[in-house]
Structure 1
């Protein structure tokens, strides 16, 4: 049996297990990871490389930074300030999604989510609203906001580089926002109206964790509260100016976590307690599947099979739609960066082969590749809130699929208008 076929079987197993949850999500991920080693699809180093992936290190660091904000009670104080301006649950959802969406357009969407997750949990604790109702809109807004500018997400730059190499043209800094802006606005409107009922409604109380609610913080020294906030702000600034200072997100997060422990704001014991290991095993293990899809050519096979079914001379409209859907599906099981890197060259070749301007198809590839809303492994931020929000796999499917539908409709209407296939 070929490595690509074995990989596809493990992909099918993972999908079935994630949907049914007959096994814990982290256990499923580890079965896939070990299975790919035992069957010879991946070597040990490649299979376990996900556990030292920069996003996993970022998870660990930001769990500690967030944990310090809770251990000191500072998150609750911040939550109290925000809730003064947004009294209703819908008002909070709108405010959170708008703030996160705009920030993600200019910062890392993963970094933005990592910084604001503990703050939103604090808001939930202070306001009395369930965190499961607020965290999912937060991570969805982070993904949508990434399409507001050229630097909002890595996939945007991949689409740009493919276009530049092939045609010498470039997307403008805010050109992604032609599609991404309306998707974000309609996404916020959707979850403030019809989608409000689809948001998970779980009671989450992680007894003994750094996110525990209803605690007495009156004996915590004021300096600890202020220092936890100061280090959070410094960490955020480091992430904002990542490219200028030349320090990666994960390293900045680690510096923040180390400072919190060194200064005694949070103890080593509480720092370790704040790390959600379920998230680490789920994300780290699943990255082995993403590597196998890429390295064995299984991902390429999926893309080629579907696109090949369109025939020798497909309509550019149909091609754009199919590319968008393929990218939507792949990105929910691979990273959006890997999905865009895989699909962009294929899309470019087909568009050029039919004599069409590749900009619309590449834009569909990038936007579709960002629609990682329907699984907890679609993007790092989705995984980060899995345990904190008490979510199940189907919570993402139920809440995220309508957003994919919205993104699809918006894209199919605006792409041919903004990026004509055959410019006059």
Structure 2
């Protein structure tokens, strides 16, 4: 009984830490796993079982295969062609979303969104349209498309691996298509017809509505060359800059805020501005004002401005920018920070980074983004050689052959991905070093740790207790109500943590429900897989949502407004298909 309450309390604390971003997700999950191991709730073998799970290993290989396709430039070229359209908004959106959802059924959706986001933003700027009308639908389309096949999302592979581990056959390659295709078609139709009305119009050029600006916070040093030293802020015209607001003046570690028009400017003052990215970047043209970065006034000779989003697994999370050694690691300096329309009042170096923060960086030719942030800088053109394109098509061809072999039962999913990866290495399309860099190790660590935590839920009786409670509450209403409760609970978990972790935590409960009701586990596993991927109501439940969250200047409630109806559409469609098609 002590183990039951200990696991229950620990899980509640873990969910709290994940939801309120009290640390990096993989660190939180790893800490909980070690705690359960130390207290004897799970054995060393159970704690490490996730690191050798077939689904987890398949995901690792799939990162390499999908990465080789994304790096070839084929996907980028496709997006550029899709955006060359002058149709009506509905036709334009459908022309973009349907191909993207199809691609995401076979290629990891995170690199798809990373590659397409800067193109969509640039295209919107050139055509006088708002990126906020397109980026959330872009993310949702890739999530929906990922539910169509076994390799469309890591969640499907994780549940597949759990089924195999528990003695079941697992999913076939297109088994989830019975649900994935209908929910994708219904979901895309909803986005095409209603997203334009439900999503905000947030264009950075709309200076007449300051609340709609993507507010960056930047810092400027007043040098001896400034013409308005010992004169007022009003005289220097620093309160009438287009799209900018002077938040505070830092003088000898003392903050002057709010700043009045009669405040006298002194040499060495640091002016903290909040406002439009382009105006902050241009302010350095004013003689005597020096834009400051996280490493001082660091501007390489051939510098470029780069915009990036801090990932949920960045090594810089919850650290002050000045403590991250940013210049050494990335050959860049942070000159401005945007956090979901908040006005940050501290110095650039003192800002503590959080997931989803958008950084404006000045970088040299040796810029390295690593895996600390997603690069969303609009790119005028991307140089791709014909050889890269040919090798990209070769990678796609091999993947297609392996999919056919898996579908007809010649190879297992793990074997097919292993053979494809070996071919990539032998033909030098991907080197072993590049393959190592393409793998998202933090994702694998979270998934592997989740397996051990899921076992703790079983061993302690928490899973059986939750399953019993669900059945007790829903039994009078019938089997459909029980399936609904499983979907809703999984969906709540996935909005609070990663999709794969939510699936792993719900799987023990699904097993207990299937055993108690004496029904087949496979339909319930399908519900868990779909519900864990269907993260539409918050920006933190799915990586692609977090990418567009900062890039589109969205607010938290924007996701809830457009995501709640889509969640209902996907939920109702999934439950009806499972109950009246799959289970008959």
Q: What TM-score, normalized to structure 2?
A: 0.51
Residue ranges of structure 1 left out of the alignment (5+ in a row): 147-151, 160-172, 350-357, 377-381
In 1: Cα distance, 2:49 partner to 2:545 partner: 22
Q: Quick check: 1:140 aligned with 2:144?
A: yes
Cα distance per residue 1:157-185 (max 9 Å; x no partner): x99xxxxxxxxxxxxx99995x7765444
**How much has 1:38 moved relative to structure 2?**
1.2
Residue ranges of structure 2 left out of the alignment (5+ in a row): 123-130, 151-155, 164-173, 203-213, 215-306, 311-367, 495-501, 551-555
Q: Quick check: 1:223 aligned with 2:387?
A: yes
Matching residue of 1:208: 369
Specify the SS of the correspondent of 1:370. Answer: helix
Whether the 8 Å contact between 2:486 and 2:510 is mirrored in structure 1 is: no
Q: 1:325 to 1:93 in 2, by over 3 A?
A: farther
Whether the 8 Å contact between 1:72 and 1:217 is mirrored in structure 2 is: no
Matching residue of 2:436: 272
Matching residue of 2:57: 57
In 2: Cα distance, 1:306 partner to 1:75 partner: 44
Q: 1:154 to 1:28 in 2, by over 3 A?
A: closer
In 1: Cα distance, 2:175 partner to 2:60 partner: 32
Which has the higher relative contact order, 1 or 2, with Cα contacts under 8 A spaced 6 or more apart? 1
Cα distance per residue 1:335-386 (max 9 Å; x no partner): 476554443333447xxxxxxxx9xx9968854663124669xxxxx87758
Q: 1:411 to 1:118 in 2, by over 3 A?
A: closer
**How much has 1:21 moved relative to structure 2?**
0.9
Q: Quick check: 1:406 aligned with 2:575?
A: no
Whether the 8 Å contact between 2:144 and 2:534 is mirrored in structure 1 is: no
Whether the 8 Å contact between 2:64 and 2:435 is mirrored in structure 1 is: yes
Give the 5 Å matches for 1:42-53.
Answer: 42-53=42-53
In 2: Cα distance, 1:64 partner to 1:298 partner: 37
Q: 1:409 to 1:17 in 2, by over 3 A?
A: same
Between Structure 1 and Structure 2, which shows a larger proportion of strand residues?
A: 2
Cα distance per residue 1:51-110 (max 9 Å; x no partner): 232333233223223333344433322333444469788767645764576799xxxx6x
Higher mean C-alpha deviation, range 39-48 or range 331-340: 331-340
What do you get for the CA RMSD once the two structures are aligned? 4.8
Residue of structure 1 aligned with 2:531, choices 365, 371, 386: 371
Whether the 8 Å contact between 2:139 and 2:545 is mirrored in structure 1 is: no
Q: 1:103 to 1:209 in 2, by over 3 A?
A: closer
**How much has 1:238 moved relative to structure 2?**
0.9
In 1: Cα distance, 2:41 partner to 2:532 partner: 26
Q: 1:137 to 1:5 in 2, by over 3 A?
A: farther
Q: Quick check: 1:334 aligned with 2:511?
A: no
Between Structure 1 and Structure 2, which shows a larger proportion of helix residues?
A: 1
Matching residue of 2:13: 13
In 1: Cα distance, 2:113 partner to 2:510 partner: 30
Q: 1:262 to 1:297 in 2, by over 3 A?
A: same
Whether the 8 Å contact between 2:41 and 2:459 is mirrored in structure 1 is: no
**How much has 1:395 moved relative to structure 2?**
9.8
Q: 1:188 to 1:53 in 2, by over 3 A?
A: same
| Segments ≥4 residues shifted beyond 6 Å | 85-90, 100-104, 129-132, 152-156, 173-176, 361-365, 386-391, 394-397, 411-416
Whether the 8 Å contact between 1:373 and 1:400 is mirrored in structure 2 is: no
In 2: Cα distance, 1:78 partner to 1:30 partner: 39
Specify the SS of the correspondent of 1:22. Answer: coil
Q: Quick check: 1:242 aligned with 2:246?
A: no
Matching residue of 2:515: 345
Give the 5 Å matches for 1:357-396.
Answer: 366-367=526-527, 370-373=530-533
Q: 1:174 to 1:145 in 2, by over 3 A?
A: closer
Q: 1:282 to 1:364 in 2, by over 3 A?
A: closer
In 2: Cα distance, 1:60 partner to 1:362 partner: 24
Look at both structures and tell me which one has the larger radius of gyration over its CA atoms: 2
Whether the 8 Å contact between 1:300 and 1:342 is mirrored in structure 2 is: yes
Residue of structure 1 aligned with 2:465, choices 301, 325, 328: 301
Residue of structure 1 aligned with 2:454, choices 271, 276, 290: 290
Matching residue of 2:68: 68
Matching residue of 1:324: 484
Whether the 8 Å contact between 1:41 and 1:292 is mirrored in structure 2 is: yes
| Number of matched pairs | 371
Q: Quick check: 1:232 aligned with 2:232?
A: no
In 2: Cα distance, 1:52 partner to 1:174 partner: 24
Whether the 8 Å contact between 1:71 and 1:266 is mirrored in structure 2 is: no
Matching residue of 2:243: none
Q: 1:54 to 1:187 in 2, by over 3 A?
A: same
Matching residue of 1:162: none
**How much has 1:37 moved relative to structure 2?**
0.8
